[in-house]
Amino acid sequence: MTPGGRAQAAVELLDAIIAAARDQGAAADTLIARYFAERRYAGSKDRRAVRELVYAAIRLLGERPENGRQAIVALARHDPMVAAMIDGSAHAPPPIDPVEPGAVEGIAPAWLVDRLERSGLAAEALPPLLERAPLDIRVNRSSADPAAIAAEIEGAVPLPHAPNGLRLPNGTSVEQLDAWRRGAIEVQDEGSQLVTTAAEIARGMRVVDLCAGAGGKTLALAAAMGNQGQILACDSDRARLSRLAPRAERAGATIVETRLLDPGREAEALQDWTEAADVVLVDAPCSGTGTWRRNPEARWRLTPDRLERLSTLQAHLLEVAWPLVKPGGALVYVVCSLLDEEGAGQIAAFLGVHEGWSAEPPRIPTGVARGLGWRLTPAHDGTDGFFVARLVRTC
Ligand SMILES: C[S@@+](CC[C@H](N)C(=O)[O-])C[C@H]1O[C@@H](n2cnc3c(N)ncnc32)[C@H](O)[C@@H]1O
């Protein structure tokens, strides 16, 4: 592809990504993969260059642009190398008129910046939300030793805080590594590894992972339990949950049972676990404001209405979760969001109507207190953004 052809491909992809963000369609990565699956003539260098243009534009623009052309115009005004690609040559986008409007640069839509600031994020903590994320892995302690794995994988270095974590050079094809194939490692951000630590899990426990998805945290829990005890991994999304079993098998996690839940009827399906769990983990669905490093277009998807619906769902899941905790057990609530309405606010509301619970600071070696929970941020901790609270049932 010519430089102009790459710029034109970026415009087409940005059009698709903007429409998908507006209509809750597929993620940017999926759209990029589909685009190139239909254009086999594009080589790996072309694909990488187009992808970089697309993500540079997404990161640059806080408000969702009207279209891909406005997005690339803004990027060109920011970066002369991009401007030089838009020269009107064959396959290139038409040249930019000096008075042509471009999309507006920014961290996020104004309403969302306002909510983040009201949630206690300082102005300097906002740009790191959009920096490139590192590639972190968790070593499966049930079957492997982090030092041995570090020696086996080129460029691997220990994570600053998570004891079983390593950081790999960006671009490492993890699924091609022998260590991955034999179930010794999983890709997992350091923040995710640390919030799992907050569960203070031990061998032989009975644990419910209420929103297990494809099992990222379930597998970390199973490893922390030395594969002894019982984990009930639930989710309402059949496709996600169905990916858990093969991952558990690869990791040798034999203590995991999965259960598909019907939204709104979760309590019925979980009656046999009433007051039976030592720990219930609620890794709740959220706006993902803490994971913009990986999904920067997520900030173009969120609306106040959607945030409100997520917040209602989070409160509902806390209501589903607490009856499963046995006296003396713990409810661990996690969101990968930095907004108080999804984090500290949820915990304050829960404790306002439930007696017999006390909030304990999670034992995480980094992060800062937020309300009755704990918060990790890219700026302070170099991890994805998370809120985690640990509530102990006192009676
Ligand atoms: C943040 S994700 C979980 C990620 C997962 N724990 C991990 O570590 O990879 C939240 C999950 O909640 C699930 N969910 C949404 N509504 C639910 C419900 N009513 N009951 C159980 N799970 C639900 C979603 O399908 C999604 O997989």
What does pTM read for this prediction? 0.94
For ligand 1, atom 3, which residue shows the shortest CA distance? Answer: 213
Question: Could you report the per-residue pLDDT of 91-117, keeping only the tens digit for each?
Answer: 999 999 999 999 999 999 999 999 999
Give the pLDDT of residue 182. 93
233: Cβ below 6 Å to ligand 1? no
User: Which one, of 358, 350, 362, lies nearest residue 393 by Cα?
Assistant: 358
User: Ligand 1 centre and the CA of 99: distance in Å?
Assistant: 46
Q: Does 278 belong to an annotated binding site?
A: no
User: Which one, of 255, 184, 187, 242, lies nearest residue 213 by Cα?
Assistant: 242
User: Which one, of 53, 52, 50, lies nearest residue 73 by Cα?
Assistant: 53
Give the pLDDT of residue 2. 93
Give the pLDDT of residue 142. 87
237: Cβ below 6 Å to ligand 1? yes
**Residues with catalytic roles:** 336
What confidence category does residue 88 fall into, taking pLDDT thresholds of 50, 70 and 90?
A: confident
Residue type, 209: D
What confidence category does residue 184 fall into, taking pLDDT thresholds of 50, 70 and 90?
A: very high
253 has a pLDDT exceeding 90: yes
Give the pLDDT of residue 79. 95
231: Cβ below 6 Å to ligand 1? no
CA–CA separation, 39 and 157 (whole Å) = 37
CA–CA separation, 301 and 314 (whole Å) = 19
What confidence category does residue 180 fall into, taking pLDDT thresholds of 50, 70 and 90?
A: very high
Superfamily classification of domain 135-187: Sun protein; domain 3 (3.30.70.1170)
* Residue 388 C-alpha from the chain's centroid: 14
Using a pLDDT cut of 70, give the percent of the chain over it: 100
Upper half-sphere CA count for residue 11 (Cβ side, 13 Å) = 20
CA–CA separation, 222 and 150 (whole Å) = 21
Q: Does 262 belong to an annotated binding site?
A: yes
CA–CA separation, 321 and 307 (whole Å) = 21
Question: Could you report the per-residue pLDDT of 123-146, keeping only the tens digit for each?
Answer: 999 999 999 999 999 999 888 999
Mean pLDDT of 271-297: 97
User: Ligand 1 centre and the CA of 336: distance in Å?
Assistant: 12
Instruction: Give Rg (Cα) of the chain.
Output: 22
The ipTM assigned to this model is 0.99
Question: Could you report the per-residue pLDDT of 312-335, keeping only the tens digit for each?
Answer: 999 999 999 999 999 999 999 999
Query: CB 32: neighbour CB atoms within 10 A?
Result: 21
Q: Does 235 belong to an annotated binding site?
A: yes
Per-chain mean pLDDT for the chain: 96
CATH code at 191-393: 3.40.50.150
**What are the C-alpha distances in Å from 188 to residues 171, 199, 220, 244?**
15, 16, 9, 15
User: Ligand 1 centre and the CA of 277: distance in Å?
Assistant: 19
Give the pLDDT of residue 395. 84
Give the pLDDT of residue 67. 97
261: Cβ below 6 Å to ligand 1? yes
Question: Could you report the per-residue pLDDT of 197-225, keeping only the tens digit for each?
Answer: 999 999 999 999 999 999 999 999 999 99
Mean pLDDT of 189-196: 94
